[in-house]
Amino acid sequence: MFKLALSLLSILPFILSVRGCPGEDHDHTHTEHKRAFPQAALTPPTRALEWGDVNIIHTTDSHGWLLGHQKSSFPEPNYSGDLGDFASFVSHMKEIALRKDVDLLLVDSGDLHDGTGLSDGFPAGGVDAHESNKFLAQLPYDVMAIGNHELYIYANTLDMYKNFAPKLKGRYLSSNVNITVLDEHGNVVSVPVGNRFAKFKTRKGKKVTALGVLYNFTGNDKNTTVQKVADMVKEKWFLDAIQEEPDFFLLAGHMPVQRDNWPLVFNAVRAVHPQTPILILGGHTHIRDCVQLDGRSMALESGRYMETIGWMSMKLDRKGSAKNLTFSRRYLDPNRVTYEFHTKQRNFTFDTLQGNSISRGLKALAKSFDLDFLFGTAPRDFTISRDPFPSNGSLLTLFASEAMPVALSINNTRANIPNIMITNSGSQRFDLYGGPFTKNDQLTASPFADAFLFIPNITAGIANKVLPALNGAGSNQRRALMSELEKRESELYGRGYVDKIYMRWLEEMDRRGGVERRAAQNATLGYVTQDSCPGIGDDVVHAPLPFFSSPDFIGSTPPNVSDDTPIDLVFVDFIEKQLLQILNTVQTTKNYTITDVQTYSPVLSNAVLGVYAQQAWN
């Protein structure tokens, strides 16, 4: 899906030189035979995985991306494997583990909801991810942890409690997350969504104590509760659960492995068991990351959107030893080239019956949700951060300058009144690619169902000051707003918004020599990870994605009218509080409140691109 920073011609010789996985005919260029996408040949890994006594395949923040990334612009082909391919991969890896006589666990760290049409494109009256989660439940997960996206809507949480968690048979963990329900006697009770912890033995007889922890999330719906991590580790059930020493602790959870509260959980365990191995599988911030809190532990975070499959291995020693353990970690690109390389399978021996069944089922689900409904044909790729803002290739420019003005003017009695339209740049969640623009593309690019509001009769001179002030333009304004901006960022993090962290990660990736590596023309675009663990984590060498920063808020082109002309100030409800605060700082004639705010259009933000495409791209 992502567009190439280099021309196709510049990398064509390299693409043509890429060969298939070991075991294939030497004159066979490896391309995707299973599906129409991707057409591009993919770079295979160059080194085998390091196996230990305990090995883990890790997923997190899948957000409904179960059909794989099916666009042809890089780096999307890197992530083109669907859940059926992944199921086949896991099955083959389990067979390898049997031959090696070692343990292999499958772990997920949460956020199954919100992100693609498979999860979000359900018909009216349905529940988000109810159908798509049935396919995840077919995989042999040993432990799954709850994420914050399981908690925004009570109906989704209830569905997880009633229909999904039971399928994991005590291994769906929500250590600090409860749901309020009626018990069998009709009494209101607050109970864990899954289980607080799990104790089990691996195939090789290793004793495991597992937890599933959510970071200090504050955006959960009513009748759900999230206990602060600092309070959870003081609970009697927690202290009782960790009292007996296992062979290793498995701390899965929807919490980033750095700059959050994993040390609170880690230290609570270490206070009782100073030398017991601890494996941490984190998530939430959508990045690839790894850190070791001591020599007998490792913490791994494995990206987002099925763009990364994490691998961790550990070689055990005798109980009571204080020596450093040997760990390894790897970030795999989820595609058939990667999967076949590490399982030593050929393209026509790789698929298992279960894998094929899952792939067919996902396609049937997509068809039943009408995810191929065509709004129009996009003339090019539009990216969030790989093109400058503003520019012709910027999705933020497209949305603010073209799509909003067109979509919100349709059947709107105020369409002829000049306006300025403002939204937050985080409203756009994924790049939009040239070619057919479908219902599924709309849901992935712009998933948030924010309503458009407006305040009438704001003079153009005042309205023109609002967007720059929201973005903190001007040194005096920036100083005045800095504490508010920091407070807002902390508040947004608590409510689950991680775009800034992910964007800073991309920016740093590009800053570390992105221009030079792309100019070398010897690698396709993709993630280039630098973490805190020893060795190279990425399974395939890539050139980093170009990165251009963008403001927190974006707006339409101001109307060409005099400063004293009354216009409509239009904005999404998500930023209503901040916008009113700013409006009351850039003028003092009137104190504006929510009573001055009206509904502007029935079109929600997640429908804007589709409405625009029907008008402009047909």
Please count the residues of the chain: 618
Contact 119, 129 (CB under 8 A): yes
Which CATH number does the domain housing residue 414 bear? Answer: 3.90.780.10
- Do the domain assignments include residue 464? yes
Query: Do 236 and 291 fall into the same domain?
Result: yes
- Do the domain assignments include residue 349? yes
Query: Do 413 and 349 fall into the same domain?
Result: no
Contact 195, 173 (CB under 8 A): yes
- Do the domain assignments include residue 141? yes
Query: Do 345 and 419 fall into the same domain?
Result: no
Query: Do 378 and 361 fall into the same domain?
Result: no
- Do the domain assignments include residue 26? no
Strand boundaries in 43-118, DSSP class E: 54-59, 103-108
- Do the domain assignments include residue 135? yes
518 vs 258, higher pLDDT: 258
Q: How confident is the model at residue 514 (pLDDT cuts 50, 70, 90)?
A: confident
Contact 529, 288 (CB under 8 A): yes
Query: Do 495 and 578 fall into the same domain?
Result: yes
Backbone angles phi, psi at 191, to 5 degrees: -130, 160
Cα distance between residue 21 and residue 405, in whole Å: 49
Cα distance between residue 453 and residue 575, in whole Å: 10
Q: Among residues 196, 303, 194, which one has the least CA distance to residue 241? A: 196
What is the span of the domain harbouring residue 73?
53-368
> Of 324, 341, 368, which residue is a domain's last?
368
- Do the domain assignments include residue 47? no
pLDDT at position 437: 98
- Do the domain assignments include residue 267? yes
Which CATH number does the domain housing residue 188 bear? Answer: 3.60.21.10
Query: Do 296 and 394 fall into the same domain?
Result: no
Contact 145, 174 (CB under 8 A): yes
Query: Do 144 and 98 fall into the same domain?
Result: yes
Q: To the nearest whole number, what is the mean pLDDT of the chain?
A: 92
pLDDT at position 136: 98
Cα distance between residue 391 and residue 394, in whole Å: 5
pLDDT digits (tens, 9 = 90+) for 62-90: 999 999 999 999 999 999 999 999 999 99
Cis peptide before 388, with omega less than 30 degrees from 0? no
pLDDT at position 473: 63
For CA atoms 486, 575, 506, 286, the dihedral sign is positive
pLDDT at position 484: 62
pTM for the model stands at 0.91
Beta-carbon contacts of 327 under 8 Å, excluding residues fewer than 6 positions away, are 52, 292, 298, 312, 313, 314, 315, 533
Query: Do 285 and 333 fall into the same domain?
Result: yes
pLDDT (mean) for 436-459 = 96
Query: Do 330 and 443 fall into the same domain?
Result: no
Q: How confident is the model at residue 10 (pLDDT cuts 50, 70, 90)?
A: very low
Q: Would you say residue 400 has pLDDT above 60? A: yes
Q: Would you say residue 4 has pLDDT above 80? A: no
pLDDT at position 483: 59
Beta-carbon contacts of 568 under 8 Å, excluding residues fewer than 6 positions away, are 414, 417, 418, 419, 420, 454, 455, 456, 458, 600
Query: Do 71 and 182 fall into the same domain?
Result: yes
pLDDT digits (tens, 9 = 90+) for 324-347: 999 999 999 999 999 999 999 998
Query: Do 580 and 431 fall into the same domain?
Result: yes
> Of 322, 345, 368, which residue is a domain's last?
368
Q: Are strands 224-226 and 248-254 parallel, antiparallel or unpaired?
A: unpaired
Contact 572, 554 (CB under 8 A): no
The per-type count for the chain, helices as H runs and strands as E runs, is: 19, 22
pLDDT (mean) for 400-417 = 97
- Do the domain assignments include residue 496? yes
Virtual torsion, Cα 197, 200, 203, 205, nearest 10 deg: 130
Q: Specify the number of domains making up the chain.
A: 2
pLDDT (mean) for 514-542 = 92
pLDDT (mean) for 260-280 = 98
> Of 353, 368, 383, which residue is a domain's last?
368
Query: Do 401 and 359 fall into the same domain?
Result: no
